[in-house]
Amino acid sequence: MNQPLVSVVTPFRNTAPYLAQCIESVLAQTHSSFEYILSDNCSTDGSGEIAETYVRRDPRVRLIRQSQLLSQAQHYNNVLTQISPDSRYCKIVQADDYIFPQCLQSMVQAFAQSESIGLVSSYWLKGNMLLGSGFPHGTSLLPGRELARLFLRAGVYVFGSESTVMYRSSLVRNCQPFFGESLLHADTEKCMDILEDWDFGFVPQVLSFLRMDNINESISAPVRSLRPELLDRYIIVQRYAPRFLEPDEAAALKRESKRVYYEFLAHEALRFRGSAFWSYHKGGLNPLGEKLDRTYLSLRIGSELLWLLANPGTTAAHALDRLRGRTSGQGLGNTDALQSAKRQD
């Protein structure tokens, strides 16, 4: 039986401590019909030399060296233009992650259920945490729009990261650039775009490992404390609820999403988060064509203050004491808290 060709790509920059394990996990796959494209984004730590050893060892592996430093999104998009015109499926394996031996074979088998499937995922490990739960038990295929509605309504998230999913290669070839380069969470948005017109396949096995102990900061490490997942959820709901839900339900979900997101921002305002926090969240709203809603934020801050006043206790008392200290001479209010939010304008 002929195995369909899978294009596997690993873009990397300065991931020498992990790159060999990543590459060897791909070469150990039970599905042997694949090409493996490694792309070096101007590494300075010897990662390129590690990749070269595998190019000499296995003819399925080839190495691309970028002539100038690219952003992560630009780099991923660049290497995806290099996949074979003959490949059926495309798998990204990020350089500090790895995949288990059955990964390619199991995902290809999931695709084989129907030509209508555009995207396949599975369970994954993130450090020692098992993730990807919530997909309906006993089924391995869902209409894409149905899965998108599960995500919007119940937060069922089965996309993981770029290392978790596999794409139909024709979708990659026909959409260049593949990932939106101005988006904070382009991989999630790409999955949602695919689900609008394609079905979804799921493998109820752990097929990938996402590293959490990368000694070199990943793209997400510097912003982890800024709670990007809350911004991501807000963006996804605002952008995609009208595309997958009936108008009344979409409008209600958008309102609820805004309330939850701005309650979080109000809580952070009362912690007097600095300019980096507000710059990140304001910038994240730009792709939606939105600016921070200061009036609504002020209302949420007022509600948070009322809650603190109505719920005296050790934590609340400390928070109020801190707020009184920061707002001395102004009276108890949200003026100082809002200054952090406004400072970047």
DSSP-derived secondary structure for 257-326: HHHHHHHHHHHHHTTT--HHHHHHHHHHHGGGT----HHHHHHHHHHHHHHHHHS-SHHHHHHHHHHHHH
Q: In this structure, are residues 322 and 308 in contact, taking their beta carbons and an 8 Å threshold?
A: no
Give the tens place of pLDDT for each residue, 78-91.
999 999 999 999 99
Question: Which two structure tokens, joined as six digits, stand for 196?
Answer: 């609008």
Give the tens place of pLDDT for each residue, 52-76.
999 999 999 999 999 999 999 999 9
pLDDT band of 309, cuts 50, 70, 90: confident
Please tell me the distance from the alpha carbon of residue 187 to that of residue 62, in angstroms, as a whole number: 24
Q: In this structure, are residues 203 and 107 in contact, taking their beta carbons and an 8 Å threshold?
A: yes
Give the tens place of pLDDT for each residue, 102-132.
999 999 999 999 999 999 999 999 999 999 9
Please tell me the distance from the alpha carbon of residue 331 to that of residue 335, in angstroms, as a whole number: 9
Amino acid 1: pLDDT: 53
Please tell me the distance from the alpha carbon of residue 37 to that of residue 62, in angstroms, as a whole number: 5
- Is the model's pLDDT at 223 over the cut of 80? no
CA 206 from centre of chain: 18
CA nearest neighbour of 342 among 301, 310, 304, 289: 301
Q: Which CATH architecture has domain 6-219?
A: Alpha-Beta Complex (3.90)
pLDDT band of 43, cuts 50, 70, 90: very high
Question: Which two structure tokens, joined as six digits, stand for 131?
Answer: 């993730």
Going from N- to C-terminal start, the domains of the chain cover 6-219, 223-342
C-alpha distances in Å from residue 157, one per residue of 148, 192, 229, 273: 9, 11, 12, 28
Please tell me the distance from the alpha carbon of residue 251 to that of residue 253, in angstroms, as a whole number: 5
Give the tens place of pLDDT for each residue, 155-176.
999 999 999 999 999 999 999 9
- Is the model's pLDDT at 331 over the cut of 50? no
**Lowest mean pLDDT: which of 75-79, 185-189, 258-262, 311-315?**
311-315
